Chains A and B, each alone.
Chain A
Amino acid sequence: MDALSGTIEWLTTADNWWGPAGIVQRIWEHLQYSLLAVGLAVLIALPAGLVIGHTGRAEPGAFALSGAARAVPTLGLLVLLGRWYPVQAWPVVIVLAVLAIPPILANTTAGIGGVDPAVRDAAQGMGMTPLQVLTRVEVPLAAPLILAGIRSALLQVIATATIAAFAGLGGLGRFIIDGFAVSDDARVYGGSIVVAVLALLGEGLFALAQRSVRPAGLRRRRPPLLPVAVPIPPTAGGIST
């Protein structure tokens, strides 16, 4: 069968969408792994990034760590953890979190650390405590960059969560691996398309959310269509104008 027409047929067959092994169920599983992983990564990387950015200590270390963590082979780590804890979801969540931590950590550190020192001084001059400076000045100014980091992490994680299928679990990777095992190319392509669309949808929704949290002073520019590549220390230039 022609690959394109076969794939379209697979995607438009109602039976493939419903039921315990249907696309809808697989999307739900896929989102669960992805959101848990990004949630875990936020819990770890966000506080770390805030502290490092605010104090300015260990900043080069944080960037180096973020860079090194990107080199961790996700599938290799999953195979390793899977040998000890077979057919469990948490090894998958952990390896995906490892994937999600670098962009969140790097963007948070860069965002907070890059706040204009003059702004920080002014806040202190007004009598703000260090915690108030962080929560009322630095976080709002860094919010777009922090969110861009989370958004980039989410995109990467959704696109990669197909590896859950290697561990005998569900998610959209099932269509790719099972389709390959029985030489059903339409299923492999169809599953891949659903993953890509899901990742881009998540990306789009996040972009909208991101726009709504931009500080008033920065709101004139639209958020970039693609996640901001990091580290780009922001200059918070919008403030001074």
Chain B
Amino acid sequence: MKRTLLAAVAVLALVAAACGDDDDESAPDDESAAGDLSGQSLTVGSANFPESVLLAEIYAGALEAQGADVTVEANIGSREVYYPAIETGEIDLLPEYTNSLLSFVLRQDDPEATPEATNVDEQVAELEEVLPDNLTVLTPSSAEDKDVIVCNQETIDEHGFTDLSGLSEVSNEITLGGPPEFAERSPFGLPGFQEFYGAQFAEFVPLEIGPPIVDALNANAINCGNLFSTDAAITENDFTALEDDMNIVPNEAVLPLISGEKATPEVTAVLDEVSAALDTEGLTELNFQVQAEGLAESEVAAQWLADNGFTE
């Protein structure tokens, strides 16, 4: 059903694009303020979680402001669902994350495969190698949504560390919360912390990422815990995210995944500008507005676009 709908949308978009081209030929572009992309049409999709919807709305809004004809297909589903849609051209553009996307694409051929690349540049290079010919990724932003260790204010006040090396020095006084698998995985897990940071925590409390860890941090039942770096709860509760100074967590930079034929120099330029303006802190703040303040993703995206000069 969804497929059919997407196909219909794509056909309409093509028709609209064709009309747009005609317009361009008959009446040369003279509205320079918002005319760079007139005649170009794109369908922007997103995964089924708020941050992805938000990023899709930002991409869509920025392109639309330059005159493109944009359709948004938000909340398509998990990567297993939306990736085939962009592969077949039903969707043209999606916000993605470097390590997750790379891992997924590699697993398409070999279920056991894991990425070699861990930093953003290597990840982008590897992505360009393994992505199908009709897909490409653009310049990544500095915004990252990855596993992070955060600590509550009491703990930071007491010990004053800012990175995982600092945490590890006093780890025998620290109670750490993380998902059950954290106890056993490496590098981002207790064995990895011991190997790379020499950390031996006083206690490990197995808790799910999200509200259980946030509640436990607020109650000081744990000192530090595993959350995702753009979780609104970090801002909301004044938690401090510690820097992974030994780089044991693969980067998860936000970047656009786009069908090659839609990645015209003009479109690329607009999306590069968006990526340049996004950072982790800013994205966390935007998530906060969606998750804690209950604003619509499209509303938050519109405000961000205006604040950053993409729209008036």
Contacts and interface: CB of A to CB of B under 8 A. Distances in A.
8 contacts: A84-B215, A87-B207, A87-B222, A165-B206, A168-B212, A168-B221, A177-B206, A181-B181
Contact of B215 (A82, A165, A180, A181): A82
Interface in B198-231: 205-207, 211-212, 215-216, 218-219, 221-222
A165 B179 CA distance: 12
B181 A168 contact: no
A82 B183 contact: no
Contact of B216 (A165, A168, A178, A182): A168
Given A83-B211, A84-B215, 17 more contacts: A82-B212, A83-B215, A85-B219, A86-B215, A87-B219, A87-B222, A88-B221, A168-B206, A168-B207, A168-B212, A174-B180, A177-B206, A178-B181, A178-B184, A178-B206, A182-B184, A182-B185
Q: Is the interface of A mostly helix, strand, loop or mixed?
A: helix
B180 A181 contact: yes
B177 interface: yes
A180 B179 CA distance: 11
Nearest to B179: A181
Given A82-B215, A86-B212, A86-B215, A178 B222 contact: no
B183 A178 contact: yes
A165 B181 CA distance: 13
Interface size class, chain A? 10 to 19
A85 B218 CA distance: 10
A85 B222 CA distance: 12
A174 B206 CA distance: 9
Nearest to A21: B183
A165 B211 CA distance: 16
Interface of B: 177, 179-181, 183-185, 205-207, 211-212, 215-216, 218-219, 221-222
Contacts, number: 46
A210 to B, nearest CB: 37
A177 B221 CA distance: 20
B177 A168 contact: yes
Interface string A66-102: 0000000000000000111111100000000000000
Q: Which of B181, B205, B206 counts the most chain A CB atoms within 10 A? A: B206
Nearest to A180: B180
Nearest to B222: A87
Interface in A142-199: 165, 168, 174, 177-178, 180-182
Given A181-B180, A181-B181, A86 B216 contact: yes
Contacts of A86: 207, 212, 215-216, 218-219, 221
A178 B184 CA distance: 9
Interface string A30-42: 0000000000000
A88 B179 CA distance: 17
Contacts of A82: 212, 215
Contacts of A182: 180-181, 184-185
In the A-B complex, the 3 residue pairs with the closest CB atoms: A181-B180, A87-B221, A86-B216
Contacts of B185: 182
Contacts of A181: 179-181
B147 to A, nearest CB: 15
A76 to B, nearest CB: 14
Interface in A94-126: none
A178 B221 contact: no
A84 B211 CA distance: 11
B74 to A, nearest CB: 29
A83 B221 CA distance: 12
Nearest to A184: B184
B218 to A, nearest CB: 8
A188 to B, nearest CB: 12
Nearest to A170: B206
Contact of A87 (B179, B180, B216): B216
A177 B219 contact: no
A87 B205 contact: yes
Contacts of A87: 177, 205, 207, 216, 219, 221-222
A85 B219 CA distance: 7
A174 B211 CA distance: 19
A165 B208 CA distance: 11
A50 to B, nearest CB: 38
A168 B183 contact: no
Nearest to B182: A181
B207 to A, nearest CB: 5
